[in-house]
Structures are given as C-alpha cells and as structure tokens.
Amino acid sequence: MAGLFTASYRDYIPKGKEGLFQGCRMVMYVLVPMIIGPIAAQIIITSANKGVNDSEIVYPMELFLGAAVIMLFAFIPAKIVRDNQPIQHEKLLNELK
C-alpha cells in the first residue's frame, strides 16, 4: 500500500519542484494516520470489549478487521487519481508555470 502511494506521489511531482510538495506528503503519511488510527482503534476496542486481564491486554479480532477495511477505503482515492492522471498532471503543470 505504501509503495503504491509513494510511486503515485513521485509520478505527479514536476521535476525541480519536489521540495514544494514535501509538506503534503508529510501530512498524508504521518498526520492523517496519527489521527485516524487511534480514533478507529478506540471505537473498535470499546465496541468489541473482550475484557482485560491483569497481566495482559487482549486485542479483539475486530481491530484487525477494522484495519483491513480502512486500508481498503484507501484504494478509493488511489483509483480516482489513477483515472484522472493525465488531466490532473496537466493542470498541475499549468499552475506551477
């Protein structure tokens, strides 16, 4: 999944303008997962409460299924971007000139 987005990200950056887009990459790779991950995990853990033992925390199986569903939702924007690749690339180049 990370390879797909890294390759797509590099395809859309105009040559010589890589530094302008590093902030966008940091937001999408670091900030968004740091916000979505704990919120989704907390919702899943509280809804599928299996109990906590004194010596260990038991993570519910639903947590891993939820992570898989969230990952599948990430393919939706990837598909949209791939379908609109020529239009968006041309528009981006025109804006940077």
pLDDT in tens, 7-65: 777 777 777 877 777 777 778 778 888 998 899 988 988 888 766 666 677 788 899 99
**Residue ranges per structural domain of the chain:** 2-11+19-96
Place of tokens 């590093």: 22
Rounded-to-integer distance, Cα 42 and Cα 34, Å: 13
Query: Token pair of 29, please?
Result: 């790779």
Query: Token pair of 46, please?
Result: 């509280």
Confidence tier at 69 by pLDDT (50, 70, 90):
very high
